[in-house]
Amino acid sequence: YMPGYISPISRLHLACISHSQAVVAFEGIPLVLPIRAAMREPRHFPAVVCGCLLAGTVAFVVVGTSGYLAYRDETSTFITLNLHGPLSLGVRAAFSLTVLLTYPLQLYPAMVALEKKLGLAATEGGCVQLIWQCAARTGLVCGAFAFALYAPYQNLVALAGGLCAVPLAFIFPGVFHLQLCAPCTLAARTLDMALVTFGVLMAPVAVVAALISWR
C-alpha cells in the first residue's frame, strides 16, 4: 500500500509485482504427474484435479477478500500479521506447521531431478549413497532457508513467480501441448501460442520488477 499520489510507473510496477505474486498459486503444478503416477486408479485423476482446483480457487478468493475487507489499507502481506491475541498465535503455528509438512512434497520433484543430475538417483549404492542423498537434500533445504531468511517476502514471492511459477503456469503447458498433442484446430494452436507468448513476456518483467524494488 502506498498512500497519496501514485505515478503511472509506480502503478505498473505494483501491478507487475502483484501479478507475479498471484501466479505463485500455480506452484503445485509439478506435483500433478507424480501424484497421477502414484494413484491406484488414475482414471479418477481428472475429477480429483478439478475438485482441488475449485476448492483452492474458492479458498484463495474467500481468504483474500475477507482479509482486505477486514483491514482495508492496513492489510499486511501476511494476513496473520494483522491478527492479535492468543488466537493469532494458534493461527500462525498452524500455518507454520502446514508449510513444514508440505515442504517435502513441494521439494520432491526438484530433488529427484537434482539427484539425477548429481548421479545420486541410483538405489544400489548402499549406506554411502544414502548419506550423499541426505546431504544433498539437507544442503538444498538449508540454502533455500538462508536465502528466504534475508530476502524481503514480497520480492521473494515475486521473484519465485517470475522465475518458476510463470513458466510452469503458461510457458511449459503451451509448449508441451503443441509438441505432444499437435492440435489441429487454429483456435487450439492460437491459445497455446498466446499462453507461451504471455509467459515469455511476463517472466522477465516480473523478475526485473522484483529486483528493482529489492531492499
The answer as to whether 7 is a domain residue is yes
The answer as to whether 93 is a domain residue is no
The answer as to whether 3 is a domain residue is yes
Residues 6 or more apart in contact with residue 60 via CB below 8 angstroms:
25
The answer as to whether 174 is a domain residue is yes
Which residues of the chain fall below pLDDT 50? 1-3
Euclidean distance between CA atoms 41 and 46, whole angstroms: 11
The answer as to whether 52 is a domain residue is no
Q: For residue 197, what pLDDT is reported?
A: 94
Q: For residue 122, what pLDDT is reported?
A: 63
Distances (CA, A) of 177 to 34, 60, 189: 18, 27, 9
Q: For residue 51, what pLDDT is reported?
A: 92
Range(s) of the domain holding residue 182:
1-22+153-215
The tally of domains found in the chain comes to: 1
Cβ neighbour number for residue 17 with a 10 Å cutoff: 22
Could you read off the pLDDT of 145-186 as tens digits, one per residue?
Answer: 888 787 777 778 888 888 888 888 889 888 988 888 887 888
The answer as to whether 122 is a domain residue is no
The answer as to whether 170 is a domain residue is yes
Number of residues written out for the chain: 215
Nearest Cα residue to 15 out of 213, 206, 198, 211: 206
Cell of 133: 542423498
Euclidean distance between CA atoms 189 and 124, whole angstroms: 45
The answer as to whether 142 is a domain residue is no
Q: For residue 1, what pLDDT is reported?
A: 45
